[in-house]
Amino acid sequence: MLDRSSDREIKICCGTFYQSDFVRVFLGDVLHPGGLELTRHLGDLLELKPEDKVLDIACGRGASAAYLAETFGCHVTGLDYSSENVAAAQAHAATRHVSHLTNFREGDAERLPFDDGSFDAVISECAYCTFPNKVQAGSEMARVLHAGGRVGLTDMTVSGPLPSDAQSLLTWVACIAGCCTAEEYVSGLQKAGFSRMFLEDQTQALLDMVKIVRGKLSMAALAAGFLKSALGDVDLSEAKRLAKLAAELIDAGSVGYALIMGIREEQS
């Protein structure tokens, strides 16, 4: 099945945005709220064991994959749409001395390049919201898990339609325009063949991340000359305005972050 060109644009835009110097300066290599602490929590809830084969869909620069391999001793395969992120993930695993427990490849979450039932657990952090075809992505997660396998996501949520001003925030990070309510993610995964769903609010992690980014943006405004090469064309005052807007939307309960888990049913 071929992508619609608008879907392809969203994936390329998302990949490009998250491999940019701007993101690296403001987020570092861990590209999701809650950092590796939340990744640890997800690994604990999924009860990862050394014999598990884990797939990290949209693994970004590989920080979580390396961390899970190091912490739980499991084998982690990371997949990302961006070839630059895949290369960074391989390099990161080498510096963490977990290359023997990890492997990374370029690919699309909606068309996973793996056989049916290849994995014991699938994770995806701060990425499901960006997939244009969530039904397809959910079915692919179910397909590559064996029966009884576990899925664990953490992701951005919305509580309903956002105020019109928020559209500029979504346009800026175009790939989060596909955010759903936590309940919509849950029911989507149920339709894909998951059951025994578990949902946990993690909005505080998002709020903390936005606070850190806002602090860094204020520092960057002071050090604009020094950071110019890393920031490229980024309009700092617009970035500050949007980060403030993000904090307001979180405070108002319009935007949040959630952890969602499920088990792949026998019949899927």
Ligand X SMILES: C[S@@+](CC[C@H](N)C(=O)[O-])C[C@H]1O[C@@H](n2cnc3c(N)ncnc32)[C@H](O)[C@@H]1O
Residue 256 half-sphere exposure toward CB, CA atoms < 13 A: 18
Coil/strand/helix, residue 153: strand
For position 33 contacting ligand X by CB under 6 A, the verdict is: no
For ligand X, which stretch binds (CB under 6 A), given 86-94, 120-128, 178-186, 225-233? 120-128
Minimum CB–partner distance for residue 233 and ligand X (Å): 20
Minimum CB–partner distance for residue 222 and ligand X (Å): 27
Provide the greatest CA pair distance for the chain. 58
DSSP state of 265: -
Q: Are 262 and 167 in contact (CB under 8 A)?
A: no
Nearest to 149 by CA among 126, 173, 112, 116: 116
Q: Are 255 and 249 in contact (CB under 8 A)?
A: yes
Place of tokens 């960057």: 220
Q: Contact letters (x/-) for ligand X, 58-97, by CB under 6 A?
A: xxx--xx--------------xxxx--x------------
For position 202 contacting ligand X by CB under 6 A, the verdict is: no
For ligand X, which stretch binds (CB under 6 A), given 93-101, 105-113, 214-222, 236-244? 105-113
For position 11 contacting ligand X by CB under 6 A, the verdict is: yes
Query: What is the distance between the alpha carbons of residues 236 and 26, in angstroms, rounded to a whole number?
Result: 12
For position 140 contacting ligand X by CB under 6 A, the verdict is: no
When the beta carbons of 24 and 240 are compared against ligand X, the nearer one is 24
Query: What is the distance between the alpha carbons of residues 60 and 87, in angstroms, rounded to a whole number?
Result: 10
What residues between 154 and 183 interact with ligand X by CB under 6 A? none
Nearest residue to ligand X on Cβ basis: 60
Residues that bind ligand X (CB under 6 A): 11, 14-15, 18, 30-32, 58-60, 63-64, 79-82, 85, 108-110, 125-127, 130-131
